[in-house]
Structure 1
Amino acid sequence: MAKKQQHEDSFENVESALTKTEQFIEDNQRLISFIAIALIVIVGGYWAFKKLYMQPLQAEAQENIFQAQQYFEKDSFNLALNGDGMNPGFLEIIDKYGATDVGELSEYYAGICHLQMGNFEDAIEYLKGFSTDEPLLKATAQGAIGDAYLETGDMAGAIEWYKKATSLDNEMITPLYLFKLGLLYEETGEKEKALEAYSTIKKKYEESTEGRQIDKYITRVKISG
């Protein structure tokens, strides 16, 4: 009998909850309809924006960056940056296609162009504005910022960004920035840190260009220390 009563009570509780839900829906039908429509508009609008606007814009940007990249590869950095009067340079591409992946990549190109042209403050600005999920390109940009700071005489800034660049474990660029770090640490009198940087090259990147000559730098630090 008790079990039957418990079952009936549970059924009444469920029924009551359903009735309250139905009542809430009935009382707020207009609000719920508005929310549903808003969600449809947001999702549909995002799809349309991405498919009908961003994809064509990305394709257009990809076509327009070609000549600037060609100039860049030929070390014609001024033409790559500013264009040739017929084809846009990286600066124009940033202005027109900044929301695209191509526009973002142009920030990197523009920074390197400025670095090569001796415009170090501009190089820092553009390279800091560049972002990517690609680890090697990110580390390369960080190292280039370090180079720009070094050219301005800001050793602390150079060290900061070289350290960021060496957080990536890559046989091609990591030993390069470790080596630059070591030289700067020597310059600033931080012998132990210099030795640590050189020793890391010796231990992990001995086959690199820097690794093949690192013994003499390790010896130099030990003798001078």
Structure 2
Amino acid sequence: MSEIKHPAHLEAEKNPVDELQKFWGRWGKQASYGLLVLAILVAGYFGYKNFISEPKEAEANKAIFRAEEYYREDSTKLALNGDNANPGFLKVISKYSGTKAANLANFYAGSCYLKLGDFNNAVKYLKEFSSPVKQLQIRAYGLLGDAYSELNKKEEALEQYKKAGTYYEKDEVFSPEYLFRCGALYETMGRTQDAIAMYKIIKDKYPSTPRGAEIDKYLARLGVTQ
């Protein structure tokens, strides 16, 4: 009977220590460089966060405070441009770019420009804003719709009104209002069926809101009586 020969790798298991030594002998320099780069990146991230990012956020929050007060007082130009001692929203945006305060300042600046009738700048700054706070994002979409509507960019306005009206259905303050504005704009464009569709959403989903309470008369005007 002939002798059965086993493959070499079954004759004896490889010594893991020997294998590691071989690997390190061949790739040790490259591995060391890789670990060094990783260590530098990790240290850089935490250094940036602790010594640059977080202090900048705190400073930005302090800087925007007076501008927000001016905004609440309806002192629109002071809120936008600041006074001799305090920065306005525009300065916060330019000086503290990348911070949460600067992002919020984009919303405020867009709103200020809308009040001042500068609709192009309103669009510019509102488009730069985004927020995980749903009601605030609804408001930003709605203000964008208003700005586009004032610029007679009706399709863009409709898009933003739809976003505002459908972004967060649980909201009963802004959602029905912007659905209504969307429907009203459709009416001015002669798109009756689209207007009816918007008004029906209000009737079905927001019957207890101010817009919901009066929506039947707008539907009746368009021939819908049920």
In structure 1, the partner of 2:47 is 48
Higher helix share: 1
The aligned runs of 1:49-198 (5 Å cut-off) are 49-168=48-167, 169=169, 170-198=171-199
Find runs of 4+ consecutive structure 1 residues off by over 6 angstroms: 5-8
Give the TM-score, by structure 1 length: 0.91
Q: Report the CA distance between 1:208 and its aligned residue.
A: 1.0
Amino acid at match of 2:209: S
In structure 1, the partner of 2:201 is 200
Change (3 A) 1:115 1:6: farther
Q: Report the CA distance between 1:38 and its aligned residue.
A: 0.6
Q: Report the CA distance between 1:135 and its aligned residue.
A: 2.0
C-alpha separation in 2, matches of 1:187 and 1:200:
19
Gaps of 5+ in 1: none
Q: Report the CA distance between 1:23 and its aligned residue.
A: 1.9
In structure 1, the partner of 2:36 is 37
Amino acid at match of 1:97: Y
C-alpha separation in 2, matches of 1:107 and 1:85:
21
Q: Report the CA distance between 1:105 and its aligned residue.
A: 0.8
Gaps of 5+ in 2: none
C-alpha separation in 1, matches of 2:101 and 2:153:
31
Aligned length: 219
**What's the CA shift string for 1:117-165, capped at 9, x where partnerless?**
1010000000001122222211211110000011111211111111111
C-alpha separation in 2, matches of 1:178 and 1:141:
14
In structure 2, the partner of 1:222 is 223
Kindly report the root-mean-square deviation, in angstroms, between the aligned alpha carbons of the 2 structures.
Answer: 2.1
Give the TM-score, by structure 2 length: 0.90
Change (3 A) 1:178 1:24: same
Q: Report the CA distance between 1:16 and its aligned residue.
A: 7.4
* Sequence identity (%): 38
Change (3 A) 1:25 1:218: same
Amino acid at match of 2:160: W
